[in-house]
Amino acid sequence: MSTAPVKERAYLVGLDHGQNGLMTEEESLRELGRLARTAGTVVVGQSVQRRPHPDPATYVGSGKLEEIKSARERTNYSLVVFDEQLSPAQQLRLESALEVKVLDRSALILDIFASRARTREARLQVELAQHEYLLPRLRGQWQHLERMEGAVGLRGPGETQLETDRRLIGQRIARLKREIDAVRRQRALHRRRRTREGVPVVALVGYTNAGKSSLLRTLAGAEVLAADTLFATLDPLTRRVGLPGNETILVTDTVGFIQKLPTQLISAFRATLEELESADLLLHVVDATSPAIEAQWATVMETLDGLGLAEKPMLAVLNKADGLTRNDGEPVTSEADLTRVEVTSPAPGAALLVSAVEGWGIDALRRRLAFELFGVRPEVSTLA
Ligand SMILES: Nc1nc2c(ncn2[C@@H]2O[C@H](COP(=O)(O)OP(=O)(O)OP(=O)(O)O)[C@@H](O)[C@H]2O)c(=O)[nH]1
Ligand SMILES: [Mg+2]
């Protein structure tokens, strides 16, 4: 007899506004599917409704709701996931109409963050975000779900808190904020020390799964967790990296961005993201093979803007070049092939083409960083 837990069967629902923001709804749903699988579910079906605005009561219209309901027979879903943040009232109504658990994109992302958080700092930040998300939803469906241990959308704050009233949750939020503040002060101290040492700091930013951690691993020659999953990295990690001309920099890996990132998470991760503020340069890592490259670029830029970092010096790196095709239609198989690739870069300025996994374009990147940060001229570095 198998004791393996039965996976939840997720059914995805999106809304096509006609002129969706950055991604087409199809791309957005594909991403939601990856999120759902990362959270440990099996995706069994999906449905998109074309409609200029969400229905205030049930997000989708009544006809669509019936269609989703009847899809249950065919797909046997145990969970319906909506691609945008639902209001607590919508979520409650949908749950009673569909008679299954209903989640939204934010809950899924929070769930993944909760399962990934390792350090005390990341745990504090995720827990704060979870509580802020749950607080307005406390009265609804969450109350009867807390016993389903390990179920998607329920990882985290713990059953006991869910059973207590809003006042206690409010107190917990206040305490978490104080603890995170302490972490912030600690980080600020480290940052000042680093600045005194005079070592420039480069922060890796980018869409989730772009290859930030892989690039740090290649640059630093160190063990850095990289994985083909969304939000593999939650904790900022800093490593020393050598550059031509005997120069040294610090490179910090950070949490990846995603479209429709819950606001609770952005504010909860402020302590971590403050690392970006003190960086001398942002290295924006882009997955050059992504069909949604423009939308991903724009999402990262918007998020940075929201964090007040739009004016930071930035260098774009187009990664995963090993997965591209050359101008003559043949696949890229060597570093030399990089000169025979044409990518439409979303970056306004010049961007470097690299493969973090193959190590291609990395020397050029080091030279470029040495030039940007120390004024080391390329000729000098080749002699060194
Ligand atoms: N083919 C190819 N795959 C790559 C390259 N760089 C990274 N990857 C793969 O892309 C996936 C994501 O890489 P990560 O380095 O974990 O990406 P990340 O940007 O740190 O992602 P998060 O931490 O989740 O935000 C992994 O499966 C990597 O092996 C590359 O240059 N070429
Ligand atoms: Mg990472």
Q: Is residue 150 over pLDDT 90? A: no
- The protein residue with its alpha carbon nearest to ligand 1, atom 17, reads 211
Q: Is residue 290 over pLDDT 50? A: yes
Residues 232 and 353 in one domain: yes
pLDDT in tens, 160-188: 545 556 777 888 899 999 998 888 888 78
Q: Is residue 7 over pLDDT 90? A: no
Confidence at 139, pLDDT banded by 50, 70, 90: low
Q: How many domains does the chain have?
A: 2
Residues 366 and 263 in one domain: yes
249 exposure class (CB count in 10 Å sphere: 0-12, 13-18, 19+)? buried
pLDDT in tens, 223-264: 766 677 777 776 778 888 999 999 999 999 888 999 988 877
Residues 134 and 275 in one domain: no
Q: Tell which wins on pLDDT, 7 or 318.
A: 318
Domain limits at 367? 199-383
Residues 225 and 318 in one domain: yes
**Cβ of residue 132 lying under 6 Å from some atom of ligand 1:** no
Residues 236 and 318 in one domain: yes
Provide the β-strand partners of residue 247: 243
Measured between alpha carbons, how far is 379 from 384 in angstroms, rounded to an integer? 9
**pLDDT of the residue at 24:** 86
Q: What is the mean pLDDT of residues 26-45?
A: 94
Q: What is the pTM of this model?
A: 0.85
Residue 254 dihedral angles phi and psi, to the nearest 5°:
-130, 175
Residues 335 and 204 in one domain: yes
Arithmetic mean of pLDDT over the chain: 86
Q: Is residue 384 over pLDDT 50? A: no
Asked, for residue 179, whether it belongs to a domain, the answer is no
Q: Is residue 383 over pLDDT 50? A: no
**pLDDT of the residue at 239:** 87
Residue 39 dihedral angles phi and psi, to the nearest 5°:
-80, 0
- What's the CATH number where 290 sits? 3.40.50.300
**Cβ of residue 207 lying under 6 Å from some atom of ligand 1:** no
**pLDDT of the residue at 153:** 57
Q: What is the mean pLDDT of residues 111-116?
A: 88
Residues 203 and 134 in one domain: no
**Cβ of residue 231 lying under 6 Å from some atom of ligand 1:** yes
Q: Is residue 345 over pLDDT 80? A: yes
- Choose the weakest-confidence range: 9-18, 26-35, 223-232, 281-290: 223-232
**pLDDT of the residue at 224:** 66
How remote is the CA of residue 226 from the centroid of ligand 1, in Å? 6
Measured between alpha carbons, how far is 281 from 222 in angstroms, rounded to an integer? 21
Ramachandran bin of 211, using left for φ above 0, alpha for ψ from -120 to 50, beta for the remaining angles: left
Q: Is residue 144 over pLDDT 90? A: no
How remote is the CA of residue 216 from the centroid of ligand 2, in Å? 9
| Cα 110 to Cα 154, 212, 291, 325, distances in angstroms | 9, 21, 25, 36
**pLDDT of the residue at 377:** 81
pLDDT in tens, 68-94: 999 999 999 999 999 998 999 999 999
**pLDDT of the residue at 381:** 46
Helix (H, G, I), strand (E, B) or coil at 230: coil
Residues 152 and 237 in one domain: no
Q: Is residue 120 over pLDDT 80? A: yes
**Cβ of residue 361 lying under 6 Å from some atom of ligand 1:** no
**Cβ of residue 205 lying under 6 Å from some atom of ligand 1:** no
Asked, for residue 172, whether it belongs to a domain, the answer is no
Q: Is residue 218 over pLDDT 70? A: yes
- What's the CATH number where 149 sits? 3.40.50.11060
Atom of ligand 1 nearest to the CA of 257: 25
